[in-house]
Structure formats: structure tokens, C-alpha cells
Amino acid sequence: MSRLSLLALAAALGLAVPALAAPPADTIRVALNGDLRSTDPGTKRDDNTDAVILHVVEGLVAYREDASVGPMLAESWAVSDDGKTYTFTLRDGVKFQNGAPMTSAEVVWSWKRWLDPKTEWRCLPELDGRGRMKIESVEAPDPKTVVFKLNAPSALFLATIARTDCAEGAVIHPDSVGADGKWIKPIGTGPYRLETWEPGQYVLLKRFDGYASRDGDRDGYTGGKKALAETVRFAIIGDPAAAKTALLSGDIDLVPDVSIADKQEIDGQKGVRTELAQTLSMSAILIQTRDPLMKDVRIRRALALAIDNSQIAQAVTQGTSPPNPSVIPSASPYHTAVEEQGYTPNVEEAKKLLAEAGYSGQPIKMLVNRKYQSVYDTAILAQALAQQAGIAIELEVLDWGAQLDRYTSGDYQTMSFSYSARMDPALSYEMVSGPKDKQPRKVWENPEALKLIQDAMITSDPKQRQVIFDKLHRMQIEDVPLIVTYNGAEIAAVSDRLEGYKPWTASKPRLWNVAIKN
């Protein structure tokens, strides 16, 4: 049994935990709740893989703190008048972790690899014509310039190549693969290089002393990056209780994602603290607008008037997340005063709408699961709030897989559900909107809304996009295909040994600009 497992067992039995040896002075120790799937960026991957590898590799652009896209390895870019050509100017002085200078040749080589179907890159379907756009060519007219040509204009091109699940379209050195084309390990441009991966045990990153940082402060995955620790060690600890025990006993410096219940416990302990950031995930009550009962918009509006998302957000998140009535996350730069407007709770008005619709207490099924406690708690509260207006909600508790199948097939009246983050508002709307005949999982199929979403995917001007998103929000509130309650929060548990660590919107740990106290 490992030391961490023994610590967890001792804590569970109420036994004293022996004092630990002093931690290495130059190493940040992080708990990772699962092993890497590979070290090949954006291919065989999951969130843990991305979290580690994005310390090693970087792309031309990256997401800022506010989920907008900023320059990373590119100093700047220009877009042609027809919106189909993107010309990137590379930064000076950037080196790979083998000491070689980065030029446009390596950018082109990397992108040809990502666009090769044999690589099985995560974002290939978005960029090879199967999705919304196609990269027709990637060219290097000179050592500092890279030109991408698309088949059609798209406002989502930069947002797509910046995606963390696609490893930001990482620029890597050709020596990352062998002469036979087989993957060896990533040789990137990031502040840390991959030193050791012991599957099932740990991943060790070592500071890249030749790293060329951008100017300024840390800003999402761009901005200034400084590797202040010599090494970062990600320990694979699958059990949350064991990870918490390791933190409290001093074996670990950081648990990047803890529950609200754990936050309350950790906040009462000496030597540790919690840090919080709002994320782009979304909790909502979905409504099947083709259901014989729920197709009446008056019933949907009555439900929205009865379900107070302020009460739900406060109770379910223990105040860690504010209410949000909009599909556009609170942390998005496109979330304005318009997106704050929703339904003000009004039981009497809800009863009036129900009477007009001829509703007489017919039961409304709400699907839910117990795997995600916040989803279940939201349903319980929604049921109680709806009852005050005379709406009879009956909960049907399924296992997560069964609920997901019902969601995918559109087979429900209502359900409590959560969506993972989408970094661009057009994608946030796209995840819930579409023709149900072709995509039964979609919630909203208003033809005008679908046209506006397509416009938002083409239009690049922020002011024009804001107008579109504001209109979509007002239409969403009018149609009530879903009732958005709140966006999630990333809660990190941090040892007082560290300073400078902050979670952020993308729900990924960043260990640059983090220092170890003396």
C-alpha cells in the first residue's frame, strides 16, 4: 500500500498521522486525480493530460483569463478582408526545449502533423471540412510568418486553435517523433519540460531555463510565464479523500479541484487555504418543448417564474457561484447587463399563466442522477419551489449513463443537467440549440435563433457579436427552452507553502508564476 493510501486509512480510523519529512525545497507537489493518457498533445487525452502537457507546449494563440483569445507564440496576426486568410507573425527569441530556435518551418511541420488523420488529433474534425471550417493550406513565406488559408470565413477559427483540449495546436519540434514517425515525447516551448512519466505514479516536469516569456502578468494561458520552482511533481491520487489527507498532512501542496464540502473543512484548517474561480460550466433545467404538456410556452414561463435561480445557486453552491439566467457564462466578456436579465420569481403570476394554459396539476417528470450531487440538489430545490406555484414535479432518479442516453434521444419532459465549458458564446448557444429532427439532444430549435447563432460563428467584430448575443438571450428568456441556474466554480485547496497560485475559468492548474515560500 502506498504512503498516501496509508495516510488516508489512518485518517479514516482516527489514528495519528506521523510527521513528514520536510518537503523538497524546489518542488511543487500537485495531486492529479487520474493518470495521463499519453504525452502526445491533443491526441489520446483527457483533462488531466491537458493540464500537465500545457505546461510543456504552447500554440500560436491561447485563451486569456476572461476566455478571449490572445497571442502566445504569435506576436500578432492579420485577417484578410474576405475573412479566409490568417497571417501570423511569430515572436522573436523563442526556443524549443532542445535549444533549437522556433521558426515558421516548425509551425508548418506541427500543423501538417495535426491535420494528418493518422495523428488522430482531437480538433481535426473541426478543421478538415467535417465541421464548420476547413484549413486548405498552411504556408511559411519566410521564417517569421505563417499563413493559414480557410475555405470560408469563420469567427471561431482562433477560438478553435486555442482550445485546451486540442493542446492549443501545439508547436513542437520535429524531434518529438522518431525517424519512423513514432511519438517519443513533446519537445515544446513551454516554461517546463517533461522529465519523467511513471504511469500510475507521477509525472515530473523540470524548469526550462531557456524559456522566452511574454511580457506582462499571467493571463490565462498567455501573458507572462515564469517557472519559479525547479520542478513540478504531479502525483496520481485517484481518491479525493486521500488527496485531501495528503494536503492536510503536508505531502501535497495543491489539490486543484475539491468539493464544496471539502472547502468548508479545509477552510478551518491551519496551513492550508482554498482559492476559487468562476468557470464556464453551466447548470440548468432542460425542458422538452415537443412534449404534449411542455410545448405550451405559458407552462414553461410559469415554471421559470416559480424556480428562483438565486435560491438554487446560493443553496447548491454554498454561495460560491452567483445566479446566472443566461447561456452565456458570467465569466465571459460577452456577459453584460442584458444577460443578467431573467425571470423575477412571482408565484402569483405563475399561477395565472398555469390557469390560462389549463394546467390542473398534471405530474411533470424531471430526470436526475445521484452521481453529480449538485445536479440532484438542483432538482430537489426546483421541485420544492415549483410546488409553491402548484406545479407537480416528480423526480425520476437514473444512473448517469441512463440519463445521458435519455438526454441524447430527447426522451424527457424536464431534467436537471450540467454542461461542460464552452469558451466562445456562439459555442455555448450551439451546445443547446439545433434542429431536433436531426439532433434530438438539442433543447432549442427556434429557426431565428439558429440563424443568429450561425451569424455569430461567422461575424468576427465584437460589437456585432454582442448585438447578436444580446438578442439571443432575450429570445431564450422569451421561449424558455431551458432555465439556466448558475455557472460552476473551480475550488482549489492550496498549502500555505505556495504563493501566487490562482485557479481560473478553464479549470486547469497553472504552475508557472507560483513560488515556494522559504
CATH-assigned architecture of domain 280-488: Roll (3.10)
pLDDT tens digits, one per residue of 121-146: 999 999 999 888 999 999 999 999 99
Interior angle at CA 321, CA 315 and CA 324, nearest 5: 95
Q: In terms of CATH, what superfamily is 27-253+497-516?
A: Periplasmic binding protein-like II (3.40.190.10)
Percent of the chain with pLDDT over 90: 89
Over the chain, what is the mean pLDDT?
93
Distance CA 244, CA 250 (A): 10
pLDDT tens digits, one per residue of 219-244: 999 999 999 999 999 999 999 999 99
pLDDT tens digits, one per residue of 418-428: 998 888 999 99
Whether the per-residue pLDDT at 394 is higher than 60: the answer is yes
Q: Which three three-digit cell numbers place residue 516?
A: 515556494
Which of 484, 474, 389 has the alpha carbon at shortest distance from 428?
Answer: 484
pLDDT tens digits, one per residue of 429-469: 999 999 999 999 999 999 999 999 999 999 989 999 999 99
> Which of the four pLDDT bands, split at 50, 70 and 90, describes residue 16?
very low
Whether the per-residue pLDDT at 380 is higher than 50: the answer is yes
pLDDT for the residue numbered 137: 98
**168: left (phi > 0), else alpha (psi -120 to 50), else beta?**
left
Which of 234, 245, 165 has the alpha carbon at shortest distance from 199?
Answer: 234
Contacts of 438 (CB under 8 A, 6+ apart): none
Q: Which three three-digit cell numbers place residue 125?
A: 474534425
Q: Which amino acid is residue 17, in one-letter code?
A: V
Asked whether the whole model's pTM tops 0.75, one would answer yes
> Which of the four pLDDT bands, split at 50, 70 and 90, describes residue 24?
low
Q: Are 122 and 161 in contact, with CB atoms under 8 Å apart?
A: no
Whether the per-residue pLDDT at 7 is higher than 60: the answer is no
Element (H, E) at 278: strand 272-287
Boundaries of CATH 3.10.105.10 in the chain?
280-488
pLDDT tens digits, one per residue of 468-486: 999 999 999 999 999 999 9
Boundaries of CATH 3.40.190.10 in the chain?
27-253+497-516
Q: Are 303 and 383 in contact, with CB atoms under 8 Å apart?
A: no
pLDDT for the residue numbered 421: 84
Neighbouring-strand partners of residue 86: 79, 148
Mean pLDDT check: name the lowest of 280-294, 353-367, 504-518: 504-518
> Which of the four pLDDT bands, split at 50, 70 and 90, describes residue 5?
very low
